[in-house]
A and B are shown apart, each in its own frame.
Chain A
């Protein structure tokens, strides 16, 4: 067990990601933030809250997306779907997808498929808290990354939201 980000580092990382997002997107009316179910919900809430605090008075659109019905392993294991809530159009917008850990890339592949069913965004960017960079199974890379780490397939990375730490098991 190893701590990848402690509480203070996690706060700073979220603050940095929020700043980077704002740096790249001047007009927030053209941007929508989408957190991925289930584990990207917490981190996306934190990042979006930070973005809100840094850009008071601007309207920020935030939704959550569940990709269960787009998984490529439905016949291997039955997954139970979570709620999707995207109460706005993504047509022509810049979509910022937010998840906690980028691992094989398969969840993001499913998310890209799912987003197509909501419209045609101008662009899609990926923001993750932790990037397990050598475990990728698809050609997918993050645009915003909290921390990049080298891990084995046998290991697990977990964001412990009660303690506000990221742990490698």
Chain B
């Protein structure tokens, strides 16, 4: 058994078997991370470059740690401290790096489709670590892993995504994944931040009233308001956003059930989520970060394993 794809460009390309295989393998790696020596030699013949054309702390550290825990050699690249500022193209940069015998590329880029472009032109396996407003597949995988760990199989579970659906690659990857694994998905947020075609195109429910949406769900994944991706004013102020769509303790206390709270980070405290909710026992935000390493180890292990063909 192995993955049906050579690259991880998006959840869109994965089958439900692929997703199950990644999640099962991740649970074995999670056990590895509890050992006194949290490291296995599986990828010691593999060199991986982390190409980050866009800022990141969690994802970059998580990938780097996953690579080290697998004994791979990792090199890091960030566009600000490189020849990109001298005008080198993406393909030139990557080909130069690959000529130093690199086997895999982990890439984050602000342009949607950048890793897909790269996959067509270079022989190395590519892992998408977030491309523009398209996909962030490893985030969706670690979200799924964290949900499974907390409340069991995804099948039939009701998952709510709140906030900036329009600009969120986390949302799109999550929607693809959850639908493939048999979960029900609803999105909630201001109409200006929810694409109009979403309901028909991806068969998700849309709700503009946060309280009703929370009442419906088992799990609420609160997305970050991405100020850097908004060149027009889509809501009048952060304070107004917080009043209408911020997840507060008061809202959750009124539900008569305990739902699971998630957030992909970084959190804007007091905007999309209040501090007392983010730090509460029903929040699994830090478990998501912890699981991210195991999930990325699984992805890298399964993709590197295909190399010999």
* Interchain CA distance A80-B41 in the complex, whole Å: 15
Query: Which residue of the partner chain B has the closest CB to A71?
Result: B42
Query: Which residue of the partner chain B has the closest CB to A74?
Result: B42
Whole-angstrom distance between the Cβ of A58 and the nearest chain B Cβ: 26
The contact of B21 among A74, A80, A116, A118, by CB within 8 Å, is A80
* Interchain CA distance A81-B27 in the complex, whole Å: 10
A 82-115 contacts with B by CB, 8 A = 82-85, 113
Which chain B positions have C-beta within 8 A of A119? 36
- Are B308 and A117 in contact, with the CB atoms below 8 A? no
Main secondary structure of the interface of B (DSSP, over half): loop
- Are B1 and A80 in contact, with the CB atoms below 8 A? yes
Please give the number of chain A residues whose Cβ is less than 8 angstroms from any Cβ of chain B in the complex.
21
Please give the number of chain B residues whose Cβ is less than 8 angstroms from any Cβ of chain A in the complex.
26
Which chain A positions have C-beta within 8 A of B39? 117
The contact of A118 among B35, B45, B304, B306, by CB within 8 Å, is B35
Whole-angstrom distance between the Cβ of A37 and the nearest chain B Cβ: 10
Query: Which residue of the partner chain B has the closest CB to A120?
Result: B36
Interface: B2 (CB within 8 A): yes
Interface: A76 (CB within 8 A): yes
Whole-angstrom distance between the Cβ of A86 and the nearest chain B Cβ: 8
Residues of A participating in the B interface, judged by any CB pair closer than 8 Å: 66, 68-71, 74-76, 78-85, 113, 116-119
13 extra interchain contacts, Cβ-Cβ under 8 A, other than A71-B42, A118-B37?
A69-B40, A75-B308, A76-B308, A78-B306, A80-B21, A81-B24, A82-B28, A83-B31, A84-B31, A85-B31, A117-B35, A117-B36, A118-B36
- Please provide the 7 A-B residue pairs with the shortest distance between their CB atoms, ordered closest to farther: A78-B305, A117-B37, A69-B40, A81-B28, A75-B308, A78-B2, A69-B42
